[in-house]
Amino acid sequence: MSGAYPGVGPEKTAEIAAKVEAFVRDVVIPYESDPRHDEHGPTDELIAELKEKARAAGVLTPHILPDGQHLSQRETAIVLQKSGLSILGPLAVNTAAPDEGNMYLLGKVGSPELKERFLKPLVEGRGRSAFFMTEPALEDGAGSDPSMMKTTCRQDGNHWVINGRKKFITGADGAIVGIIMAKSEGPGGGACMFMVDLPDPAIQTVRVLQTIDDSMPGGHAEIDIVDLRVPADQMLGNPGEGFKYAQIRLSPARLSHCMRWYGAAVRANEIATDYANRRKAFGKTLIDHEGVGFMLADNLIDLKQSELMIDWCASVLDTGELGTAESSMAKVAVSEALSRVADRCVQVMGGTGVTRDTMVEKFYREIRCFRIYDGPTEVHKWSLAKKIKRDWTGATAPLSPHEEAARAR
């Protein structure tokens, strides 16, 4: 898979999206009260049961068709937004992070052999995956800055040996496939990516972090990698091109987060709207109180702006461009807007909104984390500011004598 995906057209996309929405609303949402959750997320037993139901309904991995064709990014947005209407939706239909981003990267970069071994089971929903890039920031590792990566790889015969520590590795506990990013110690250096089977005794979970979100199976782990030996043919792509591949993955993955959490915010707004139209206080329904009605009106504005931002960024990615700046803008705008939506929903519902009697409380916690995951707002703004400076410098640089002469002609 290279370049842009052509897509399947609006009618087929609408059909897929409608099936996903019906499945999430009718089948998945009732599972939200299922007790099969631990402190980090739903159990693999629950996920496997939901995936089997999705498979039977024909909505498992809906963004990748049976013939391997991938929906365009604009089409993917429409489908993933519907999967996000429940926290469990992306897990049930196999559009969740990090699997969706890992499938995308493998589809773009993986050799036929790697696709058969590692991509196929993910597409078929037979297991979860993890992406090992982020490192502990307080140990001068690659927190939000991959260029600071401390994890190393060195070639030893027909193997590579990897050592390092990773942090915030979503779903590592219980995953069957891993993509590990490390910096080469060899001539020229550069980052490399490797495909690995999990679990592996050389990849050790130090701890699973306690976080305010609890929707990701396996949680977010801190990992030690000690003398992990990986066959050379399990390198993803070419040596030294890991940062290039990271960009191939990260822009669409950021946007996929926007798509899924958009669906969650839509659902939160539906719940708050229903509450405001039923609850009476001070002689009239809440919706008739200007303070409440205006909050819900602001929600509609933020949701529509988010929808349009997602579509705009997706259209850029569909041209085959990396869309680094565009995905940063979309990630910042959408995560901030959806956080406002979730916050207003809690406020509209008052005391009920902060209880676990409603999904609004959970949507609020999960969407709040979205402002940090896949790059905090501030990092994306800093990256955009550097681009602004580069563009300005390029536009105001003095002309060379040759350029001056050409202009005179």
How do residues 100-138 score in pLDDT, each as one tens digit?
A: 999 999 999 999 999 999 999 999 999 999 999 999 987
Q: Which residue in 173, 180, 219 sits closest to 373, CA to CA?
A: 219
Q: With 80 as the cut, is the pLDDT of residue 409 above it?
A: no
> In the chain, what are the domains?
10-96 (1.10.540.10), 130-240 (2.40.110.10), 243-395 (1.20.140.10)
Q: Where does the pLDDT of residue 56 fall: very low under 50, low under 70, confident under 90, or very high at 90 and above?
A: very high
The reported pLDDT for the residue numbered 142 is 62
Q: Could you give the CA distance from residue 18 to residue 39 in angstroms, rounded to a whole number?
A: 32
Are 121 and 210 in contact by the 8 Å Cβ rule? The answer is no
Are 101 and 178 in contact by the 8 Å Cβ rule? The answer is no
Are 85 and 264 in contact by the 8 Å Cβ rule? The answer is yes
Question: What percent of the chain lies above the pLDDT cut of 70?
Answer: 95
The reported pLDDT for the residue numbered 21 is 98
Higher pLDDT, 365 or 398: 365
Lowest mean pLDDT among 63-72, 173-182, 192-201: 63-72
Q: What is the DSSP letter of 31?
A: G
Q: Could you give the CA distance from residue 7 to residue 314 in angstroms, rounded to a whole number?
A: 12
The reported pLDDT for the residue numbered 369 is 96
The reported pLDDT for the residue numbered 387 is 96
Question: What percent of the chain lies above the pLDDT cut of 90?
Answer: 88
**How confident is the model over 249-308, as pLDDT tens digits?**
999 999 999 999 999 999 999 999 999 999 999 999 999 999 999 999 999 999 999 999
The reported pLDDT for the residue numbered 178 is 98
The reported pLDDT for the residue numbered 138 is 74
The reported pLDDT for the residue numbered 2 is 43
Q: With 70 as the cut, is the pLDDT of residue 213 above it?
A: yes
Q: Where does the pLDDT of residue 189 fall: very low under 50, low under 70, confident under 90, or very high at 90 and above?
A: confident
Are 85 and 266 in contact by the 8 Å Cβ rule? The answer is yes
The reported pLDDT for the residue numbered 383 is 95
CB neighbour list of residue 382: distance below 8 Å, 6 or more residues apart: none
Q: With 60 as the cut, is the pLDDT of residue 3 above it?
A: no
Q: Where does the pLDDT of residue 47 fall: very low under 50, low under 70, confident under 90, or very high at 90 and above?
A: very high
Residue 196's beta-bridge partner residues?
178
Are 169 and 131 in contact by the 8 Å Cβ rule? The answer is yes
Q: With 50 as the cut, is the pLDDT of residue 1 above it?
A: no
The reported pLDDT for the residue numbered 408 is 63
Mean predicted lDDT score pLDDT of the chain: 94
In the chain, the amino acid numbered 341 is V
CB neighbour list of residue 96: distance below 8 Å, 6 or more residues apart: 90, 216, 260
The reported pLDDT for the residue numbered 5 is 62
The reported pLDDT for the residue numbered 76 is 98
